[in-house]
Chains A and B, each alone.
Chain A
């Protein structure tokens, strides 16, 4: 499919760094995010949340709240029907508890009132009678036979025999090939270790926010910050029993998502309140609610074993991963299992995963969901094994890296990709040979992510002045409008400034899947390129009409229609503006469209290199230098590609060193705020250097691979390898906070 490549010099605007089309709005405060919307007659909604980790809800008395002046609606689970499709049932129950509160922060009731202070007062007047139950928040504890049971109707799936007693282990998965026992028997050196990681939050700076407006006839509108407004529409329509065509969802600007805004939390509550009150209702989460009730990633308990021959050939790789997914099924442990060994070739591989239920918020996707923890464990063992064999960690990886045609750990054979190149560039980089001081260490690690395609629909309209509007159904989380405009400008041969991109609402385009799997620039970009080709054909046909020559005697070159071929005749080329200016008399508006279920997404690999210093007195880790080497396929707007590399690396640094969900004995989250859940700040960090590698993805017209997620896969492992070198002891638990590092150093001395 590859039509243009950088090598043949065909790109004119792809690869340049123009100002983003939404830029001025975003530096002047004009851009409207989720909480910035106001509708006439709007009420303010608030959600009452469970203070208990696990409790039966015996009764809810809302009468006093309803009697308060200014309160216009109060809802509980009783306002939702149980007649919801199975696929949406857990989502609904996660938004509002049905009979049982499953975690600290689980929504129990909601109110809408004429002001925020009245809404807050009303929450205090709702009387909930709880029967507190024993709880479990630790993944290993939850697997024990005598652990408090979250759901009595969940039986472990994926076992040879279906069990007869319910369990907190909701499923078992297995991936691999060959026979690991045979592989380990052939090994000269084997390293195996256990690892643990704590849950972290995506930490987007914008809390979830929406305004819902649902009329009694079942027609409604919803404004919200989300990674997928079509998903929001479909889920809310299913939960509220609406026709999807009657609910129009508009995506606001989105203040970060990282996977955490790929599901719904408050949107159906705002719509249900609105339906009851007969007025628009705005719901905005506080930061405390964001931490307690939305998206953390899984905490994980892992065991990894890798064997190799003395000549460095890896013979077998085996892993056992246990991920908790909160109070509902779906922890992404499968993706952890599939990605764990994806960077390597070995004849014998096996990963087994357990999906575990605990009394914590339902895990939401977080940037390459499931992969970073597994990479932390695997890449730590790879480096340790290299050390035992007396090999350089990059050399050892180069020797065993998966290449085109190799059997992958997750099923198919590898296609062409850039892993080797990331390793080679890392090895050749001056960072790798820079001197280190005392108490300093250097670590490297590799990472892999699949990247997705999915359902996509785009539209392109050409104005009478020859300027171009494009509509996409994927939101712009990090400058993607600029990439969209670049691809259309490239394809049509018009200046970038002449193309403008909007994120259209759900009534204006066909269904678009959520922005996940780093799919936006790949899928919407591909659909727009094909929309532009559709439009070019029509432009040529219009020029043919004007010139009164056959349609196939016109071609589109450099933004102009030109006569081509033997029967074309002599005409001056017509620009896009000239053809568009005559649209009214040649058949009306000129547009291009494309709908597809995008296939051919290209996997992406990265190698990260980091230097850290460990304070021997306190155990504090400082990141001194960081370099990212990643395959982008083709960088459409390199500045935003670098931004994805840097942002992912820094989220990984947070996960590695600081960030963790801390639960008390009572099962309550103890650090539900940015003061105690500390994400990296500017003074914690050095510059993050980036090297963009471009191994084109043959599944995209311009060679694009997704870039957003791979960058968070290697950092924890790279930092663990670096800190372990600096501290002189292998670190196996995240976060590597000062007390943990200090203890590991003390234990090693003892």
Chain B
């Protein structure tokens, strides 16, 4: 099968890749570009472990084709920290012990950042519904929700 040539910007870097026409963006990121921070928990859009931003939209990268990334901007977990400085969400996840095994964590962080970017003052219910597409089997979500609420408060300067 002939491959598709795709031009994107990923975490600020101009990136080109070849992929098969039916290849999910998640596979491109993980297998072709070595960006293994996004995880595959299901491959069917049900777990959110593969969450990334495509042009400011939160998506499951397992449901987007690599070819669809043509001309778009992609942000992954690898681009969340500012050099050595963790994003406040990353730091709060550590402070609150909001991860146990950590496989779901990249997806939660990307999704939570998308929430706070458009709603800096979410209620607990809003956090819970926004994150309902991200599965975590270890924590029972309690500490994740607390970490997100606490980050929001800190970023608002509250």
Chain A interface residues toward B at CB < 8 A: 17, 19-20, 22-24, 26-33, 35-36, 38, 116-117, 202-207, 253-258, 284, 286-287, 477-479, 637, 639-640, 642-644, 646-647, 649-651, 673-675, 679-685, 687-688
Residue of chain B at shortest CB distance from A27: B90
B131 interfacial by beta-carbon distance below 8 Å: yes
Give the contacts of B1-60 with A (CB-CB under 8 A): 1, 20, 27, 30, 34-44, 46-47, 49
B139 interfacial by beta-carbon distance below 8 Å: yes
Residue of chain B at shortest CB distance from A19: B94
> Judging by beta carbons under 8 Å apart, are A33 and B103 in contact?
yes
> Judging by beta carbons under 8 Å apart, are B105 and A258 in contact?
no
> Judging by beta carbons under 8 Å apart, are A675 and B46 in contact?
yes
Mark B74-112 against chain A: 1 for CB-CB distance below 8 A, else 0.
Answer: 001110110000100011011111011111111001000
Residue of chain A at shortest CB distance from B89: A27
**Cross-chain contact of B49 among A38, A205, A479 (Cβ < 8 A):** A205
> Judging by beta carbons under 8 Å apart, are B145 and A206 in contact?
no
> Judging by beta carbons under 8 Å apart, are B46 and A674 in contact?
yes
Report the Cα distance A477→B99, complex, angstroms.
10
> Judging by beta carbons under 8 Å apart, are B86 and A28 in contact?
yes
- List A contacts of B94 (CB < 8 A): 19-20, 23-24, 27
> Judging by beta carbons under 8 Å apart, are A20 and B97 in contact?
yes
Query: What is the number of residues of chain B that contact chain A, defined by CB distance less than 8 Å?
Result: 60
B69 interfacial by beta-carbon distance below 8 Å: no
Given contacts A643-B139, A688-B140, contact A287 B42 (CB under 8 A): yes
- List B contacts of A674 (CB < 8 A): 41-42, 44, 46-47, 135
> Judging by beta carbons under 8 Å apart, are B46 and A206 in contact?
no
> Judging by beta carbons under 8 Å apart, are A203 and B101 in contact?
no
> Judging by beta carbons under 8 Å apart, are B138 and A643 in contact?
yes
> Judging by beta carbons under 8 Å apart, are B140 and A647 in contact?
yes
> Judging by beta carbons under 8 Å apart, are B128 and A26 in contact?
no
B155 interfacial by beta-carbon distance below 8 Å: no
Instruction: Give the Cβ gap from B86 to chain A, nearest Cβ, in Å.
Output: 7
Report the Cα distance A210→B140, complex, angstroms.
27
Given contacts A206-B41, A256-B137, A687-B142, contact A682 B132 (CB under 8 A): yes
Residue of chain A at shortest CB distance from B125: A683
Report the Cα distance A673→B20, complex, angstroms.
25
**Cross-chain contact of B102 among A31, A257, A637, A642 (Cβ < 8 A):** A31
Given contacts A204-B137, A681-B135, contact A28 B44 (CB under 8 A): no
> Judging by beta carbons under 8 Å apart, are A207 and B81 in contact?
no
> Judging by beta carbons under 8 Å apart, are A688 and B102 in contact?
no
Instruction: Give the Cβ gap from A360 to chain B, nearest Cβ, in Å.
Output: 21
Residue of chain A at shortest CB distance from B22: A117
Instruction: Give the Cβ gap from B27 to chain A, nearest Cβ, in Å.
Output: 8
Residue of chain B at shortest CB distance from A653: B140
Instruction: Give the Cβ gap from A646 to chain B, nearest Cβ, in Å.
Output: 4
> Judging by beta carbons under 8 Å apart, are B141 and A650 in contact?
yes
Report the Cα distance A477→B101, complex, angstroms.
5
- List A contacts of B47 (CB < 8 A): 205, 287, 674
> Judging by beta carbons under 8 Å apart, are A685 and B102 in contact?
no
- List B contacts of A682 (CB < 8 A): 127-129, 131-132, 134, 136, 141, 144-145
- List A contacts of B86 (CB < 8 A): 24, 27-28
Residue of chain B at shortest CB distance from A640: B97
Instruction: Give the Cβ gap from B141 to chain A, nearest Cβ, in Å.
Output: 4
Report the Cα distance A255→B132, complex, angstroms.
19
Instruction: Give the Cβ gap from B144 to chain A, nearest Cβ, in Å.
Output: 7
Report the Cα distance A32→B35, complex, angstroms.
11
Report the Cα distance A36→B80, complex, angstroms.
19
For A30, A642, A682, which residue has the most chain B Cβ atoms within 10 angstroms? Answer: A682
Given contacts A205-B49, A287-B42, A647-B100, contact A29 B137 (CB under 8 A): no
30 contacts between A and B (CB under 8 A): A24-B94, A26-B99, A27-B91, A27-B105, A27-B106, A28-B80, A29-B38, A29-B78, A35-B39, A117-B1, A203-B137, A204-B103, A206-B101, A255-B104, A256-B137, A257-B101, A479-B97, A479-B100, A639-B96, A646-B140, A650-B141, A651-B137, A673-B46, A681-B131, A681-B141, A682-B136, A682-B144, A685-B128, A685-B142, A687-B142
